[in-house]
Structure 1
């Protein structure tokens, strides 16, 4: 016979350990911090020893003791299974929600057109997009799963490689010369759009570096348009404001439609940054999050 009378206390323990405080757990469980603390203390009374090492300062004021840490994985899995069972009780009409975070440029130029494929395969899973250029804290549950471009080394999450990336030069088709061939020298004379977004460790080229590889005898013309937003750089190219160095994945649709033209495609500049689908181990235990992860990782979203 199962004894589930301490279910609320176990929820309080698991949430408090994950957030590192009763305050964080209270927001998730929709009760007051003192109520969370009382639930945890009742569990401590039952087991006969403190479950947390408590400190007065720091972002995480509660640290599970060794015995609690060993038990928490089983407790978390059990709570996830209970939630899954409740969902099954609701039957086929039940809908799940997965919150996906990605940058503005990636959502607008790559992900949005692919979501219909996911929805057709998982009709009972609703996708909510958290569009943000800042790195959302997935480990603390700000979103369920994310698509990030970088070196793949983010703490607290599992990173699965999706695809590589390279930098290409593009411009609106109406900027193309009618009386001469597109060369590195011609590009150097045009209005160039410079992306000032930081890309630490990515080996992203400057216009001077790209033109040198392309064989230009001179550097870029003075001036140009300097923008600190990748999405705005792409918008500037689409608006025919100049020639831009951009991530190939971000402009694939525009190049495919012919509105943007890939200039001198023989000049290749692969970068160290790549695209990864990232999520915490806890989030991946949920059906809807795991489904979105596997859909991306399978390569379906690259079509």
Structure 2
């Protein structure tokens, strides 16, 4: 038996066992079910052994295959991993759509690490980047909303919303009377959290924490988190913002927590990454997805640690 044909027969055999049917194996290999059956039959004829047992419940390994099957699975898993590594040597493109604030305040500060590890992967995020703009569906959509955690989507983390102010205003708050220290300070409202059922508005925060504040529903409204944080840093007032989105400013010292984290609330909505079924199994998208999951876990762990301080 010629070596290439031998390898194709082994591939058809392993895929048929892995997927449970010739039809499913054919879909994975891009050939017809009959071709899968022919390749397996050729290998059985060559060896003189029945490798698969066919029945109403599908196919299962025969006695002649059982000893070799673990090695066969391992060999083709290694071949697939090698093919993925080789595919990553080509320039690949990933198209991402995400809320601008999520890109600016969470994704972009982290993306450099991924790009350094994978220099052949280029990005087009919200129509900008080193990958050319294209018309069509994106490979990954990152959104803030109700949880979704299925085959096409990963929940990354739930943020924790707390009052944020400039260091100067934090000092002024500390010097004010404890019972009415929020009176007289402008409060800025963020529409980002408007639809979150956790209740992340100023009126709800004031009521939950027993803080005195006249007309907590009044004040400037901001559509963009970044714009609100810039205003806060410029001493324009206080806002309610998620720690994960405010982390850059907190680390830089341009903004600070105005009240203990215990006064805040965890978002019920989460940050979710959803992937397009047609491209999610590409090696470059799978690498990005695994990295994004890890960044989400790291953010969730950081938030848990912040809540302990």
Q: TM-score over 0.5 for the alignment?
A: yes
Alignment of 1:110-125 (within 5 A): 110-125=106-121
Looking at CA atoms only, which structure, 1 or 2, has the larger radius of gyration? 2
Which TM-score applies when normalising by structure 1? 0.61
Specify whether residues 201 and 110 from structure 1 end up closer, same or farther in structure 2 by C-alpha distance, changes over 3 A only: closer
Q: Is 1:289 matched with 2:269?
A: no
8 Å Cα contact 2:187-2:237 kept in structure 1: yes
Alignment of 1:220-239 (within 5 A): 220=215, 223-239=218-234
Please provide the CA RMSD for this pair. 3.7
Rounded Cα–Cα distance in structure 2 between residues aligned with 1:183 and 1:145? 47
8 Å Cα contact 1:158-1:279 kept in structure 2: yes
Alignment of 1:139-218 (within 5 A): 141-153=136-148, 158-178=152-172, 180=175, 183=178, 185-197=180-192, 199-218=194-213
Specify whether residues 184 and 196 from structure 1 end up closer, same or farther in structure 2 by C-alpha distance, changes over 3 A only: farther
Q: Is 1:257 matched with 2:252?
A: yes
Match of 1:267 among 260, 263, 267: 263
5+ residue gaps, structure 2, are 1-22, 32-79, 129-134, 303-309
1:277 match: 273
Deviation at 1:131, TM superposition (A): 6.6
Alignment of 1:76-87 (within 5 A): 78=30
**Which one has a larger percent helix, Structure 1 or Structure 2?**
2
5+ residue gaps, structure 1, are 1-70, 133-139
Rounded Cα–Cα distance in structure 2 between residues aligned with 1:100 and 1:122? 16
2:156 is paired with a residue of what secondary structure?
strand
Specify whether residues 190 and 221 from structure 1 end up closer, same or farther in structure 2 by C-alpha distance, changes over 3 A only: farther
Deviation at 1:75, TM superposition (A): 6.0
Rounded Cα–Cα distance in structure 2 between residues aligned with 1:282 and 1:209? 43
Specify whether residues 124 and 240 from structure 1 end up closer, same or farther in structure 2 by C-alpha distance, changes over 3 A only: same
2:248 is paired with a residue of what secondary structure?
helix
Higher mean C-alpha deviation, range 157-166 or range 194-203: 194-203
Q: Is 1:98 matched with 2:94?
A: yes
Rounded Cα–Cα distance in structure 2 between residues aligned with 1:145 and 1:73? 27
Specify whether residues 130 and 157 from structure 1 end up closer, same or farther in structure 2 by C-alpha distance, changes over 3 A only: farther
Deviation at 1:220, TM superposition (A): 4.0
1:248 match: 243
8 Å Cα contact 2:88-2:284 kept in structure 1: no
8 Å Cα contact 1:171-1:242 kept in structure 2: yes
